[in-house]
Amino acid sequence: MPVALAGTPPPIQTMKDNHLSLRFGVLAGMILLAAASRVVPHPANFAPIGAMALFGGAYFRSRWAAYAVPLLALWLSDLYINNVMYAAYYDHFTWLYEGFHWIYAASLLTTWMGSMLLRHVSASRVALAAVLGSLLFFVVTNFGCWPGNPQYTQDAAGLVDCFAAGVPFFRGTVLGNLFYAALLFGGFELAQRRIPALRTAHAAA
């Protein structure tokens, strides 16, 4: 009877680990590509941020990866945008811009939403999550623009005015979420059909 050498992983376990590594790499790569699209000219608020967060929450089984990968991709794209595309607006290297925490908080909350609503992925669930994610982003980021902002009075009326000012941009947020969610979720579902190794039932990626 063949005896496995000490320290040699069983072939089945090795195959499983390879599948998980492939799955993680594909998911992370798709999110990074989506984040890179932010440097392409686009309508106001037509961005992949919400879709990236939903995608991570839906497909990564590891909680740290679900939250960290979309957030890291967002931060890396911010570094390029702020220090290359918008370098003229800053007199120093910008690691984090003013008010970033509201955007990042909205991203983290959207990831959580994806992990809750998209345990079973379907077109209707993804569309619903994309719209709800847009609403969440709108509420969090517009509220974040209000405290201490001299453009608005620091009372209920000022808060309402702040939200009203953001309404024209809401359409772009919804369309961007729907568009990029279709690309990410549709692309990965297609990839799973073509590459069986991506269909790991209980992936730890």
Domain range spanning residue 31?
Answer: 11-199
pLDDT at 204 over 80: no
| Residue 5: inside a domain | no
Three-point CA angle 198, 186, 27, nearest 5°: 40
| Residue 1: inside a domain | no
pLDDT score, position 8: 54
Predicted confidence (pLDDT) per residue in 49-68, tens digit: 999 999 999 999 899 999 99
| Residue 204: inside a domain | no
pLDDT score, position 184: 98
What pTM did the predictor assign? 0.88
| Residue 205: inside a domain | no
- The burial of 180, by beta-carbon neighbours within 10 Å (0-12 exposed, 13-18 middle, 19 or more buried), is given as buried
- The answer to whether 182 and 121 are in contact (CB under 8 A) is no
Give the chain's domain count.
1
- Please, what's the b/e burial string for 41-62 (b: 16 or more CB within 10 A of its CB; e: otherwise)? eeeebbbbbbbbbbbbbbbbbe
Predicted confidence (pLDDT) per residue in 135-175, tens digit: 999 999 999 999 999 999 999 999 999 999 999 999 999 99
| Residue 126: inside a domain | yes
pLDDT score, position 20: 73
CATH code, 185:
1.10.1760
Tell which wins on pLDDT, 198 or 108. 108
Predicted confidence (pLDDT) per residue in 2-61, tens digit: 555 555 555 555 655 666 789 999 999 999 999 999 999 999 999 999 999 999 999 998
User: pLDDT category, 203, cuts 50, 70, 90?
Assistant: very low
pLDDT at 90 over 50: yes
- C-alpha torsion sign, points 185, 188, 194, 196: negative
- The burial of 183, by beta-carbon neighbours within 10 Å (0-12 exposed, 13-18 middle, 19 or more buried), is given as middle
| Residue 157: inside a domain | yes
Nearest C-alpha neighbor of 57 from the set 102, 6, 103, 121: 121
Q: Which two tokens stand for residue 180?
A: 């990029």
pLDDT score, position 16: 57
| Residue 129: inside a domain | yes
pLDDT score, position 15: 52
Which residue reads 């998911």 in tokens? 27
pLDDT score, position 201: 47
As a whole number of angstroms, the distance between CA 107 and CA 48 comes to: 11
Nearest C-alpha neighbor of 76 from the set 54, 49, 115: 49
| Residue 178: inside a domain | yes
